[in-house]
Each structure stands twice: as structure tokens, then as C-alpha cells.
Structure 1
């Protein structure tokens, strides 16, 4: 409270001085009117689940994460700073004032993020929506504003000079302007451009890559004038459930299977329909991105488990199993992990990562994709003595043995987890499947502790469609090796007039999984097109694809009813035989 009163008094003085001096343009014009009570957004609030932040007696210590998202080819490096999704956010109308204390011990760049809309993490891309970032950089106050139409800020401005290691920062949201203060002095204003038009503000904090970090020593807010504001805590993770969802039908089969889906932490805590559907309909979740290396270990030895922990906590609250994705992959790697290094060091990095991540989630994650997509896309890797294993940084350092090493490390880190190899394009006949099957035989002969194979079943074009009976042969071939099978990332991209095809393809694979004793689960890669990875990504706003059982408005499609029919028929008959003509009824499902 004393911090707030000092801010208010000095701000009024500064604004009056500005008026007397006749400052115009980017300088403030009027003093702040009286408003509502001061709300503390730090003390007594949840900042323990904030990536890169650690609550201390003096505030939240913000560690440099330098977390970035690379493209599939490993290029780029889109910033991915954390949002305090499980902490407080503001709901307001009218004008509002936010104050923060930033305490540094060195020249670390310190940033406070104010999100009018939380960003959306699609499959390896961050859709940056409206918000601002205010920071102390090189002794100056810097503001970046995102308008929701580009990865890059629409505006960047700097103000003032000579700011010290401890800075009292304030921003007032005044209609269409943002008024900025540093150490009690108004240093400028910028256009707001409706960046907080949602009437909500979520908080984040980040530190520049250099330095030791900084401390958020205070965070307060109040309404101004006739404005109104309240502090909203994150929703609870437990979802009230009925007993007539897909997960319930699958649980009472003669041989129960898990109905799963990929889930993201962002919409889970900010979109009630997403949270309700995920908890209601599914009994297993796969973290879509939040377990991948560039998310959990952005710098060597620096881990960011907050989002992953949230997914695990959600699963526990709703009696869901967690299928971890993924420990070893050639994509979604932080820059440091891609850097040139000696082969033995590369091996050490891989093993250390597996031990740290699988060890952190030991006993909480039921299954792991230990190695993801080891098979090559290049024809030459299947001929002239090549065995079809993809040449990439892990293979280059250790050869095919990298797979053995990874599985042994995962087994040591969590002896009770079920360990899978996950691959795409192996649901159908051809050299890719043949090479994978031969690899599995070699792994078994070498005593590698592999338990099963995940069939991704991404069907993006007509040529990707696979007859369920062809898929069945693959599942049975794995059974012959003593291996489990699962459908791990199913989605079927179609035009609107082809949704019956989508329904048949998904239902056919589920029917096989229900009938074959070694098939343990059926998972889609997300469930609503609103956040689906087949959206027209890197365009603002993204245009949803049509690949999942729910559309972007959470209306169910024929695919949903077809999946239910498979489960219901299996329950009634004990065979799991698919209904040959899937329903075409659509509509919302009550929860």
C-alpha cells in the first residue's frame, strides 16, 4: 500500500509539471482521478506455477529462460515468454492503473507482460494476440505493443534514460491511451489501439538472456474514476462430469481402452468450453507441446515445468492418465541443443534430458513417447544397405544406438512407465512400415526395453487414407513381437462436404483398436478445430482446419457420433464392430 501511495503522489506531481511545461504529443495530459481500492496481485496469489518465476520473501524472482519456438526445420526462434495462467488476472471496465516494482542486481533486461488476450500455442507456433510488454532495457523504459496481427510487435517505443537497478513502474489504461511512468515520473504515452478491449489483463514476466534475472517486488492495480476492476483467480482444474461421455463408454467395454487427446495448457485455463470438454470426454491426455525439449529445457540445465505440471495436475484432478510426448525428437529442440558438439557430449545431453524430464514426472506420467519419428522421409535412406532410420543430430552422434540408449535411460528414470516409439505414415503398407518393423525386431533382439508403438494416423490428403483392415495387420504384427499398439495423434483433414469420410476413418481405426487385445488407447491430436494443428498457421488470425471431432465453435461433427457408435456397439455386442454407416447428426453435447 505504501508503494502505491508513493506512486500516486509522485505521479500527480509529474503530471502537473508536465501540464505547466506545456508538454504535448507523447507526454501525459491529465492527472489520475480518484478510483477504487488498491488490489495486490502478488502477495497471497498463485505465482508458484509460473515458469521461470520463484516466489521469495521479497517478491517473485524471474529467471532468464530465453524460451523460443523454432520452425519444423529448426530455423527461426519465435519468443515464447511465460504467462501466469494459474495466477490472478484482472477483469475491468473503464480506466485502470497498474503498478509494479522491478528490482535488479545487474543489467538484466526486465520485462512485465500485460496480455489483453493470452497467446495460443499451436503445434510449434505461438499465435501472439493483443498485449503489451513494458520493460527496463539499457536504462530506458521500453514498451512493445502487439495488436494481434503479427508475430512481431506493431509498435515499439522507448522513453526516459538513466533508470537504475530498482525501478517503480506504472501504466495507466486511459481509454485509447497508455500512460507510462518510471520512478514516479510520467515519461510518455502511446496509443492503446484497443489492446485491452477484452476487459481482461493476464500477467507475465520475463528476463533478458544475459544477467542473473530480477525480482518482481510488487504488483498492484486499481480502477480510476468511474472505472471498475476485480481480481480473478484461475479456475479450478476439476471438471464436473456426467457418466455418458466417450471415456465412460470406453471404460465399460469387455476390454476397456483409453480415449485420449492432445491438450494445451493455455486454453485449458482460459477457455471454459475447452476445459470442460477435455475433462468430460477423455480419460487420457497427451501434452501437445508443453513436454517438448524447447519448452521444458530452453537453456541447458534451466527447466520450465510449470505448463507441463498444470496438465499433469488437470489429469489427476479428472482421473485421466498422462501420455508424455516426447523425450527424444529431432524437432522442437532449443538452440543450445542443436549447437555443434562432440558425439559423446551429444549423448550426454540426450541422456541428461531424459533423466531430468522423466524423473521430474516419475509416477505421474503413465506412458512416454521415448523416441518420436525415427524413420526417414527420404527414399535413399531405404536402399543401398540403409535401414530407413532418419539421419539427424542424435543419429549422427550415436547411430541407430541412440534409440537403445534413449529407452534404457527412460526405463531407469521411471521403471513403471510404459515406453513407446511414436511414428507417422506406418499405418499403411510400404517401405516405411517394413523398415520400422525390421527396426523393432532389432531392438527386441538387443534387449531394448520398448513396450509399444504409437501410430500417429495423420490423414491430411486422400492419399493418406488407410483401410482399417490394413491398420489391423500392423497392430497384429506388433502383437507377434509382444508389443502394444495405440493410435496416438489421429486427425483427418477434409472439406466440409467430406465429414462422412472423416467419421469413417476415425471410427474405423477406433474399431480396430477396440477389437485387438494389444491396442491400449485411441487419441486424437486435439479435439476442437479452434486450436487444431491443421489451422492455416502463421496467418493472423489463423483459419481453422476441419480435422477433429469438434469444430471451432465446439459443435460436434459426424465423427463424434461415429466414435460413440463404435464404443456403444462394442459395449452391447462385446466385439467392438464399427457401425457401417456413421451417424450424420451434429450439434452440441451437453456437459
Structure 2
């Protein structure tokens, strides 16, 4: 493939390179096989070698001398009720991001054994995982099987592709494919076979992030080469993923104000891996405003344990490493839950469920021993309804409760403590902030757990406020935190979000709950269930275009709401 030789393309590649990593990263020789420097930028060149970037953290990928071997994980996202199965192919979130301008070309060499379909994804916008669903934004899939070459394109306006073109091929074991954005079209070719569709603006944002997939159970395939070339006045450069944010926090940030109080209360948020690496504004808010990170989805069972013998820690590791790079404490969410369980786990025989559950707990906690400070060991153990014989919620009915009764809670906590004696272990529940049957049931449950010697350290009050008029009384919340303290248990505000009834009411509710936590010495942290409505879990499920909620402190344009000022004022008052 020819190098870019004309003055303007060469100049543009050089400028992109300088923006990505500085002059030290640029090779003035215009070498044919450009590799990233330590700064993460590619030297100026007509061709960049994308496999020279970081592929070690690709889910299902193994880096070797012959390229990246791809193992099919069969990742799917089930709905909250356990049904469905939305495909969730891996994205190389920590790998090289190709910065592009104008026309460009990506060439790949695939070694594909018989019976395997090799799939390579090029994302113009990284897909976002909301609460139990994945929003497919702009991107495309290149797939090669023994008899078929296909190009599938998403324009971000629907879960369904806007185009899906196939052509018959006779694919050898090693096949080279070329994808081009050229002259307003997206073109895929392998040998003499070619498919083309009009470009709906897939890469108009100026970047490409890569992903892969494979058929589970079939032999692994290998991505043996992956290169990008600028074409016809375009430009290419490589920027690796940023893991660290600003080295210092503004003094008036939530984090800075909290650290200036006598309590030094950790201020946290549930965070998602995808926007941390793809949205600079989101990452800046995360690193400047918060000192604690809750793993929003990445460590739920269906994401971390997609197959009976398969664990996928890539996205959890990204969050934990990001927290370490930015001096954040990690709260792991969640080990055991009646929801968010993969289909295979739901189908485990009754007699085998204790073994599967405790093995899951030991493996996940063991993987993060010393790096995750605390865990939601059991999430939402109570029934959503007041359906117990005494008019209080009983236990939520699900696969673990069905097999072990209430003792599943004991066994989960015991397994976690056996693996990590230092991590703090929490039970996490919603709706217990107010007096009434739900609080009574939760309190009675933790009394029983303490009586049986279960190694529980605390209780998380989720503090969701989901509708108008559904308010939390700070005085009642304080009394519940104090009641748990008398049992020797800590408490934390674990998932607060507040329905946007009005900016004033929303601000008052956020500030009141924070004030309650600050006033009780056994309240160990205050965490919101997300940062911004742009990526909030209350977004309408499977919506195109996205219908965000209005529950979080920053709006969908990353602008602070009055709630942020109210939280800051509450923290300032705690310094006096």
C-alpha cells in the first residue's frame, strides 16, 4: 500500500501525531511500519500498525508472537427480569484509538480455522452499556466465514443495522480484508470480492475504536495484522487510552471539599468503563469530583462470568486500574444478585447452585483482593413487595434463594471473607430510608445475620428517589444509620439519584441525604448512581435516540445542576 506522499496529507498526519503525543513521538522519516512511542502516539507515517498498541486487555483476546488470538466469550446482556440476550461483543477499550480525517483504509489479516466466523468491529462511537442494555452507536462489523464476506453498518439511530451486505467467497485459512472509507462510501473487499454501502457518517466524530468477536465453542481465530493508511487527503494517527485524569482537583470540587472536612468522607459515583475511555468530559468529572468509584455494571455476574468456565475481568480491571491511577477507592458492585445473572447461571441445577455461587464469589473477590476495598456482597435481598406473612417484605425469590433459602446470604458473605479478610462487606438494599415495613424487614434480617455470626460489616442505603413526592426525611435516615451502629454495623449511601421533580427539590434531596451521612460517624461514604444524565441508568431502555433521565447531579450536556451547588454547600458547612 502506498505511503502518503503529497504535502497536505503528510502535514495533517504530522499535526495529528503532535496533538496525540508530542514531537518526541513523531518519526520524520515517514517509515512504513510506525509504532507508538511510550507517550502513546504514532509517528507520522502513511501507515500505522494498530497491533503495536495495547491488546492485552481485550476481552477474550490473547497476545502472542503471531498476533492476537480471539476466543469466543458468547457475551450477552439479559434484561432485568432475566429474559432476552442482547449480543455484547468485546471492545478493546484500552487499546489503540485511530484518529482519522477524511478518507482512510484499514487492512487486516485473519487466520480463521474451519467452522469459525472472524468478526472485526470498527466503532465510530464506542457502544455504551446502560442498566442491563447496550446502546449500539455508530459503527460497523466486518465478518468473514468460509463462504461469506459481510459488512454490517449501524448509524446510531436504531438498535438494528442501517445496512447489511453480504457476498459469497471461498475463504482460505488466512485471508486479508480491506475496509475503506472512500468517496462517500464504505467499502469492504477480500481478493476480488467487494461489498459497498453509502456512508451514513459512521466516523464523522474522527476516531475509530476496535472490537472483535468469535463463535463460542468453535476454534479460536487470530488477528495476525491490522494496519491503517490515510487516503486522498485524509490523515491517520494513533492515540492510546488515557487512564489518568488531572493531577490535582479544584478546591471547590466535591472531592476537594469532602477531603477538607474532618470526616474526609469519600464521595463516590457509579462509573462505566465505556465513557471513561471515550468521553473526555465524563472522565474529567470522574477524576476531579469523586474519590470513590463504584463498578456500575462491569462486575455484575452476567458481565464478569459469561460462561460456566469463563470469567471476563477486562472491563472490571479497567475501572480498578483507573481508580488506582486517580487515587480513588473502589466499591465492588455486586457479587450476588437476583438479577443480572447470565442465562447459563439461571439454568444451573438446584443441587449445584451453592457450589456455583460460592465459586463465583471466591473467584471474583480473589481476583481483586487488595484492590477493591469493599463489596456489595448481596444486593437487594428483600422482595420488592410487602408480601411476607407479617406484612413485611420477605426474601426476594430467585435462583440462590430457591436453592438455599436465607442461608445463601450467610454463605456468600462467608465465602467473600475467606478470600479477602481486609475488604469491607456490605448488604445493599433499596427503600429502607423511611420508617415502615421495608426498614423493619431489613433491620430484622441484619439482626438475624449478626446473630448467626455472618461476617457483615455494613448496609448500603440505595436512596433512589424515582418519582414526584417520594422524598427522604434526613432525620429518619439518620435514625436508621444510628440503629445499625448499635448493632456494630456501618452504613453508606450507595446509589442515590433523585427524580427531577424540580431543580430546587432535587437539590434539597441530594443535600439532605449527604447531610444525614455527614452527621453520623458510622456513615462511611456517599455515592451517586452515576454522574451525568448522558449515561444515567434511568435512561429509557432501548431508546433511539437516547431518552435520558433527569436524576443525576450533572445534566446530559455535562453541566452542573443546582444539586451540585447544594452538595458543595453541605460539604462547606461540614468544615465549620
| TM-score normalised by the chain length of structure 1 | 0.88
Residue of 544, 551, 554 corresponding to 2:548 = 544
- Please state how far the C-alpha of 1:243 moved relative to its aligned partner: 4.5
Residue of 134, 139, 148 corresponding to 1:131 = 139
**2:51 equivalent to 1:42:** yes
**Contact in 1 for aligned 2:158/2:544 (Cα 8 Å):** yes
Q: Which residue of 2 aligns with 1:561?
A: 565
Aligned-residue RMSD, C-alpha: 1.6
Count residues with an aligned counterpart.
534
Residue of 104, 114, 118 corresponding to 1:106 = 114
Q: Which residue of 1 aligns with 2:510?
A: 506
Q: Which residue of 2 aligns with 1:528?
A: 532
CA distance in 1, matches of 2:516, 2:180: 59
Corresponding residue SS for 1:368? strand
**Contact in 1 for aligned 2:464/2:498 (Cα 8 Å):** yes
Q: Which residue of 1 aligns with 2:180?
A: 172
Corresponding residue SS for 1:163? coil
Q: Which residue of 2 aligns with 1:577?
A: none
Residue of 364, 367, 372 corresponding to 2:371 = 364
Q: Which residue of 1 aligns with 2:90?
A: 82
**Contact in 2 for aligned 1:131/1:146 (Cα 8 Å):** yes
**Contact in 2 for aligned 1:222/1:229 (Cα 8 Å):** yes
Residue of 88, 101, 106 corresponding to 1:93 = 101
**Contact in 2 for aligned 1:550/1:560 (Cα 8 Å):** yes
Corresponding residue SS for 1:533? coil
CA distance in 2, matches of 1:384, 1:476: 25
Residue of 214, 223, 226 corresponding to 1:216 = 223
Query: For each residue in 1:302-361, what CA deviation from the matched residue of structure 2 results, as whole angstroms up to 9, or x when unmatched?
Result: 11111111111111111110000000001111111111x332311111111111111111
- Please state how far the C-alpha of 1:232 moved relative to its aligned partner: 1.9
CA distance in 2, matches of 1:155, 1:85: 25
Corresponding residue SS for 1:102? strand
Q: Which residue of 1 aligns with 2:156?
A: 148
Q: Which residue of 1 aligns with 2:422?
A: 416
- Please state how far the C-alpha of 1:463 moved relative to its aligned partner: 4.3
**2:319 equivalent to 1:308:** no
CA distance in 2, matches of 1:232, 1:185: 33
Q: Which residue of 2 aligns with 1:72?
A: 80
Alignment map for 1:401-550 (pairs within 5 Å): 401-495=407-501, 498-550=502-554
Question: Which piece of structure 1 moves more, 358-367 or 225-234?
Answer: 225-234
Question: Which piece of structure 1 moves more, 257-266 or 542-551?
Answer: 542-551
**Contact in 2 for aligned 1:237/1:313 (Cα 8 Å):** no
Residue of 283, 293, 305 corresponding to 2:291 = 283
* Structure 1 consecutive aligned stretches of length 4 or more whose deviation exceeds 4 Å: 384-387
CA distance in 2, matches of 1:307, 1:553: 25
Q: Which residue of 1 aligns with 2:32?
A: none
CA distance in 2, matches of 1:284, 1:333: 25
Q: Which residue of 1 aligns with 2:248?
A: 241
CA distance in 2, matches of 1:331, 1:455: 18
CA distance in 2, matches of 1:80, 1:142: 19
**2:237 equivalent to 1:230:** yes
The alpha-carbon distance between structure 1 residues 262 and 85, as it changes in their structure 2 partners (threshold 3 A), is: same
**Contact in 2 for aligned 1:141/1:159 (Cα 8 Å):** yes
Corresponding residue SS for 1:462? coil
CA distance in 2, matches of 1:80, 1:136: 19
> Structure 2, unaligned stretches of length 5 or more?
3-43
> Structure 1, unaligned stretches of length 5 or more?
6-34, 573-591
Corresponding residue SS for 1:205? strand
CA distance in 2, matches of 1:194, 1:277: 28
Residue of 348, 351, 369 corresponding to 1:344 = 351
**Contact in 2 for aligned 1:427/1:474 (Cα 8 Å):** yes
Query: For each residue in 1:121-170, what CA deviation from the matched residue of structure 2 results, as whole angstroms up to 9, or x when unmatched?
Result: 11111111011101113521122111112222222221122213221111
- Please state how far the C-alpha of 1:36 moved relative to its aligned partner: 6.4
Corresponding residue SS for 1:107? coil
CA distance in 2, matches of 1:94, 1:486: 50
**Contact in 1 for aligned 2:468/2:499 (Cα 8 Å):** no
| TM-score normalised by the chain length of structure 2 | 0.90
CA distance in 1, matches of 2:368, 2:243: 21
CA distance in 2, matches of 1:139, 1:446: 61
Query: For each residue in 1:370-392, what CA deviation from the matched residue of structure 2 results, as whole angstroms up to 9, or x when unmatched?
Result: 00000002333x11698611111
**Contact in 2 for aligned 1:388/1:432 (Cα 8 Å):** no
